[in-house]
Amino acid sequence: MTNSAGKGGCLCGAVRFTAAACDNHVGACHCGMCRKWGGGPLLAVDCGRDVEFVGEKSVGVYASSDWAERGFCARCGSHLFYRLKDSGQYMIPVGLFDEIGTPVFDHQVFIDSKPGWYDFANQTENMTGAEVFAMFAPKDHGA
């Protein structure tokens, strides 16, 4: 796992962010909520908890479950983050970064929710929804 600082922002520029340490390992989430949110899988990097935003007045937050919330720019609609409520850990869409070094697409989650009409060619580590919940969700996540 390679961690480096990253900067980026939304499509319109109303929201900018700085993440102190982002993993350059890109993951795809195929859960129904991510696909509904963005029209396809979410491709994101783990940026931990140390993320600062400029233009916070333009950040909207939607509590998408008991254990996570999704941030977006209220002006242009860009997806800004997926954040775990308990830990404050941010997953930020890889496309928002100005530069991110050399990302490595190496894992997929909710692979059992992926529709059959698309596939990625990369060899990745794959986790089912149940495996993700067992690893990350509070015990009473209410799947």
Q: Running along the chain, 143 residues long, what does each successive block of 10 average in pLDDT?
A: 82 97 94 96 97 97 95 98 95 94 94 97 96 74 45
Strand segments (E) across 31-124? 42-46, 51-54, 59-62, 68-73, 79-84, 90-93, 104-109
- Please check whether the domain covering 3-136 is classified as CATH 3.90.1590.10: yes
Strand partners, 83: 69, 90
Which pLDDT does position 61 carry in this prediction? 98
Please give the model's pTM, rounded to 2 decimal places: 0.89
pLDDT reported for residue 57: 97
For residue 117, is it left (φ>0), alpha (ψ between -120 and 50) or beta?
A: alpha
Report the pLDDT value the prediction gives residue 86, as an integer from 0 to 100.
Answer: 92
Residue with tokens 């969700």: 137
Q: Count the Cβ atoms, other than its own, within 10 Å of residue 62.
A: 10
